[in-house]
Amino acid sequence: MSDERWWLAIDFGTSNTAAAHTRTGDGSIHPVSLTHRSNLLPSAVFVRADSEILTGAAAQNAAAGHPEGFVPAPKRLISQPFIRTGHVDLTPPQMIAAVLRSVMRRAAVLHNGVPPERVVLTHPEAWSHATVAVLVDAASRAGIEPSTITTVSEPRAAAYYYTRTARLPPGTAIAVFDFGGGTADVAVLRIADSGAFDVVAARGDNALGGKNFDALIRRWALDHVADRDATARAEFADGAPGSIEAIRALDEAARGAKEVLSETPSATITVVGSRSRTTLSLTRPEFDSLIRPQVESAVDLVRDTLADAGITPGSLHALYLTGGSSRIPLVHQELSRIARVATLDDPKTVVAQGALIAARHMFASDRDPVTDQNPGAAPSRVAARPSTTPVAGPNLPEPSSSTSTRNSRRGLIGGAVAALVAVGVVIAWAATRSDSVDPQTVAGPSTGVSTVTVAQEPTTTRAPTTAPVSTTHAPLTTAYVTTARTTSANSPRGVVTVADADAQGFVDEVGPRCNADNEALGIARTTASLIVVCRTGADRLYYKGIRVEDGSGIEIDDPIVVADGFEVTNAGVTYRFDDRALLITEGGTELAREPMLEFWSVYD
């Protein structure tokens, strides 16, 4: 084996990206320093007017002067057809490629410019084949040879890392909870007789993570500012002079406070508007109170995954935590009530390191440059089988059901699986809805780790169809952040003018439809989506949207009635539609605009 041969793993995260490499000579695994001060590279990008893409700290710095070109979390936009930044439209693979290219350059410096023999990309357990293929497409655009690319799910990678020095007997069950900036993934794994990990069950929440906590802190801060000076709150409204800069600065302050509160009992938040400046103090008990519903959702996710696997918490060897949000004390406290919690090393880099160990077991041979760090406990290929999790999961109605079940603990949580929940109409749709909950689930086969062949089509905005990417699908749970609600008027139903629709929505099985006897208040067909706004018997509203191209969908509670249409906000992303278009925005940045083909509302 040549001493120059090495492998690279990249964990492309919502907030930050981490990487690990094999050291030439001895093949040992180490994190890659992606900046001068950290092993982490911010996943943010900034798109200049000439389409040049800046990444990491450079992107964050450029955003201060031109926030309209800033995209803080491209991973959350991975299923969008395009992303509009200022006057430039780019596809998600183009943006993600810029981040991956930065990682490649930094890692190659450690190996005298020699490219890696193999590149391992990690992804959430819940990502579909098509979504993983978008990531692989981005890697090929970044200059990574497609034949060298391998993918592995994040929880599986973490499991290999945490057990690399342990000799666990066959039958031992462990769980991994990957709690990052934008997603939460749980996987229960069991050691097979061969020593490989079998994924027994997996769930995920693609809209639950650290950014939810950031949004809650921001809302808390703005509410306190309004209590002191009602006019100051208006400085942060969409369209107000300097509002984009003010909101971005507040988001950074909220994120910093969240991290400080993991170490200290209080944090200071400075809220700077265009004409005002307010300093607030947030204590840890106050922070815990803000995030407790979201943390309880995370605990429910773990508990339900254990139930899916048929494993009692007492029989679990350990629950391993990874991801930056796992550092929050309340997360530890609540999870420790149901299982023995174990964290080792830096939770932000274990996935990248574990991905190399997992890949080593897939490609074990005399030519393998990765040192076997768990001798005798791994087969030559990562073993996996389809998730045993039922399609609809516990307490979740089957997709074809005309009735629905209330999940009393989850409040506004609905199940879903997709690459993106908070942005766009892109979640795999498969469920019905109750007055407060809409479980949506999708299940499918998995091989856990896969070698990928990518069709090189630089101009495509879709995932390459020739990329046979494998991943684990399982019933997921999605927590939605809701906006204020305007109570709908008791208007009589008008005659629905949208084709293939009636008073409850679309009659075609692909289109969205109100549940049970709920009535539709608005129905729309855009160039890419089908939308319905429904009202429950309790006079609550909910929004359903399905993307026609792939059947993926999203549901959000509590839309409001606005002039000529409807509007709803989820995790900072606003969907507004009327008789002209569906407009999707985040922090003043237009993410997508779909021209309206047909529109109907009871308020017309």
Beta-sheet strands, E only, within 127-240: 149-153, 173-179, 184-191, 197-205
How far the first Cα of the chain sits from its last, in Å, is 73
Lowest mean pLDDT among 261-270, 318-327, 536-545: 536-545
Q: How many CB atoms are closer than 10 A to CB 379?
A: 15
Higher pLDDT, 238 or 40: 40
- Give the three-state DSSP class for 94: helix
Which is higher by pLDDT, 3 or 601?
Answer: 601
Query: For residue 406, what pLDDT is reported?
Result: 26
Q: Which of the four pLDDT bands, split at 50, 70 and 90, describes residue 74? A: very high
Percent of the chain exceeding pLDDT 90 equals 32
Residue-level pLDDT at 459: 29
Report yes or no: 353 and 161 within 8 Å, Cβ to Cβ. Answer: yes
Burial classification of residue 410, based on how many CB atoms lie within 10 Å of its CB (0-12 exposed, 13-18 middle, 19 or more buried): buried
At 323-380, the pLDDT tens digits run: 888 889 999 999 999 988 886 566 778 899 999 998 988 776 434 444 433 322 332 2
Write down the pLDDT at residue 328: 92
Question: What's the chain's length in residues?
Answer: 604
| Residue-level pLDDT at 404 | 28
- Reference 301, options 418, 417, 187; nearest CA is 187
Q: What are the residues whose beta carbons fall under 8 Å from the beta carbon of 532, sequence distance 6 or more?
A: 501, 504, 505, 506, 511, 512, 513, 514, 520, 522, 523, 524, 543, 544, 545
Give the per-residue pLDDT at 100: 97
Least Cα distance to 426 among 294, 591, 232 occurs for: 591
* Residues near 207 by beta carbon (within 8 Å), at least 6 away in sequence: 182, 183, 421, 422, 478, 479, 480, 481, 570, 571
* pLDDT in the model for residue 473: 31
Write out pLDDT tens, residues 197-248.
Answer: 788 898 888 778 888 899 899 999 988 888 887 777 777 776 666 677 788 8
Name residue 173's amino acid. Answer: A
Q: What b/e sequence results for 490-529 when a residue is b if at least 16 CB atoms lie within 10 Å of its CB, and e otherwise?
A: eeeeeebebeebeebbbeeeebbbbbbebbbbbbbbbebb
Contact predicate 236/222, CB 8 Å: yes
Least confident residue range of 146-150, 154-158, 479-483: 479-483
The bridge status of strand 541-547 relative to strand 529-535 is antiparallel
Determine the Cα angle at 105 with ends 100 and 106, to 5°: 100
Instruction: List beta partners, residue 401.
Output: none
Helix (H) or strand (E) holding 136: helix 129-141
Closest CA to 24 of 136, 153, 113, 132: 113
**Does residue 357 sit in helix, strand or coil?**
helix
Q: Are 377 and 168 in contact (CB under 8 A)?
A: yes
Once rounded to an integer, what is the mean pLDDT over residues 150-154? 91
Average the pLDDT over 89-113 and give the result.
Answer: 94
Q: Report whether 495 contacts 520 (CB < 8 A).
A: no
pLDDT given for residue 363 in this prediction: 79
232 or 105: whose pLDDT is higher? 105
Is 301 a residue whose pLDDT tops 70? yes
- Classify 478 as helix, strand or coil: strand
| Residue-level pLDDT at 292 | 94
Backbone angles phi, psi at 266, to 5 degrees: -155, 160
> Is the model's pLDDT at 514 over the cut of 60?
yes
Q: Is the pLDDT score of 541 beyond 90?
A: no
Among 130-139, 326-335, 402-411, 560-569, which is the least confidently predicted range?
A: 402-411
pLDDT score for 32: 93
Q: What is residue 486's predicted lDDT score, i.e. its pLDDT? A: 32
Find where tokens 């930094």 sit: 106
Q: Is the pLDDT of residue 569 over 80?
A: yes
Q: What is the pLDDT of residue 528?
A: 86
Q: What is the mean pLDDT of residues 376-402?
A: 26
3-state DSSP: the chain helix, strand, coil percent, rounded to 5? Answer: 25, 30, 45
pLDDT at 116 over 50: yes
| Element of type H or E holding 308 | helix 284-309
According to the model, what pLDDT value does residue 550 have? Answer: 65
CATH numbers and ranges of domains, the chain: 7-158+347-378 (3.30.420.40), 413-442+482-601 (no CATH)
Per residue in 20-29, pLDDT (tens digit) is 999 887 889 9
Alpha-carbon span 336 to 342, nearest angstrom = 9
pLDDT at 557 over 70: yes
Confidence of residue 509 (pLDDT cuts 50, 70, 90): low
Query: Helix (H, G, I), strand (E, B), or coil: what is residue 168?
Result: coil
Backbone angles phi, psi at 10, to 5 degrees: -125, 125
**How far is residue 105 from each of residues 39, 116, 147, measured CA to CA in Å?**
14, 11, 19
For 235-249, 385-399, 511-525, which range has the lowest pLDDT when averaged over its residues? 385-399
The stretch 269-274 carries a mean pLDDT of 85
Determine the average pLDDT of the residues in 31-57: 90
> Given this model, what pLDDT does residue 590 score?
81
Question: CB of 23 within 8 A of CB of 6?
Answer: yes
What gap in Å lies between CA 192 and CA 195, rounded to an integer? 5
Structural contact between residues 504 and 514, judged by C-beta atoms closer than 8 angstroms: yes
- Which pLDDT band holds residue 599 (cuts at 50, 70, 90)? very high
CB 376 within 8 A of CB 195: yes
Q: Identify whether the C-beta of residue 533 lies closer than 8 Å to the C-beta of residue 589.
A: no
Q: How high is the pLDDT of residue 498?
A: 87
Average pLDDT, the chain: 75
Task: Return the pLDDT at 523.
Answer: 95
Looking at residue 167, what is its pLDDT?
A: 76
pLDDT average, residue stretch 92-101:
96
SS3 267: strand
Q: pLDDT: is 437 or 246 the higher one?
A: 246
Cα–Cα distance list, 6 to 30, 104, 116, 381, 574 (Å): 12, 12, 5, 19, 44
Provide the pLDDT for residue 407. 32
